[in-house]
């Protein structure tokens, strides 16, 4: 939208009105368009950053051989290890070596599913046993 105004100019002893273009006010549509583009670009930059960080974490975590960590003795029993779980420790370690799963993961599943065997009831979907496996 163009805004035209008139101004008076004195030329050769004669005053005439000359139209001129005033500064065009910023178009609301162009402001909104620029804002939308800025938001889209920021979203893309954030998305790419998260994808890069996830890929970095994924390759770092899964590039290591878990059996190597168990052989090096990285997994040690801490002082806070529950007394109820100590009787299952040899089972966790043996199964961990056999199947290539860190034994603390097996202990965590046991804790979450049955509180180290203290709650051996059948689940609502029919899972039974210490790790609540469905038959």
In a domain, 16, yes or no: no
Output the pLDDT for position 89.
Answer: 86
Residues 76 and 43 both lie in one domain: no
Q: Give the chain's domain count.
A: 2
Average confidence (pLDDT) over 127-131: 77
pLDDT tens-digit map of 3-12: 445 555 555 5
Question: What is the dihedral sign for C-alpha 10, 16, 17, 18?
Answer: negative
Residues 52 and 71 both lie in one domain: no
Average confidence (pLDDT) over 5-23: 56
Residues 57 and 118 both lie in one domain: no
Please state, in angstroms and rounded to a whole number, the distance separating the CA atoms of residues 124 and 62.
Answer: 34
Pairing status of strand 14-21 against strand 4-11: antiparallel
Output the pLDDT for position 43.
Answer: 95
Two tokens, residue 114: 């049955």
**Domain span including residue 32:** 27-63
Question: What is the dihedral sign for C-alpha 121, 125, 126, 131?
Answer: negative
Output the pLDDT for position 1.
Answer: 46
DSSP β-bridge partners for residue 11: 14
Residues 76 and 97 both lie in one domain: yes
Two tokens, residue 54: 């996830």
In a domain, 52, yes or no: yes
pLDDT tens-digit map of 27-77: 667 788 889 999 999 999 999 999 998 888 877 766 666 555 555 455 677
In a domain, 4, yes or no: no
Residues 73 and 135 both lie in one domain: yes
């Amino acid at each position: 939208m163009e805004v035209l105004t008139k101004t008076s100019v004195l030329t050769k002893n004669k005053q005439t009105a000359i139209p001129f273009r005033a500064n065009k006010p910023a178009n609301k549509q162009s402001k909104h368009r620029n804002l939308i583009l800025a938001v889209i670009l920021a979203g893309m930059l954030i998305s790419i950053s998260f994808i890069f960080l996830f890929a970095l974490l994924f390759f770092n975590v899964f590039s290591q051989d878990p059996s190597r960590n168990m052989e090096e003795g990285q997994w040690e029993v801490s002082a806070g290890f529950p007394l109820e779980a100590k009787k299952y420790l040899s089972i966790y370690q043996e199964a961990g070596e056999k199947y290539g799963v860190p034994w603390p993961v097996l202990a965590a599943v046991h804790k979450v599913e049955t509180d180290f065997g203290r709650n051996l009831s059948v689940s609502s979907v029919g899972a039974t046993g210490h790790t609540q496996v469905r038959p």
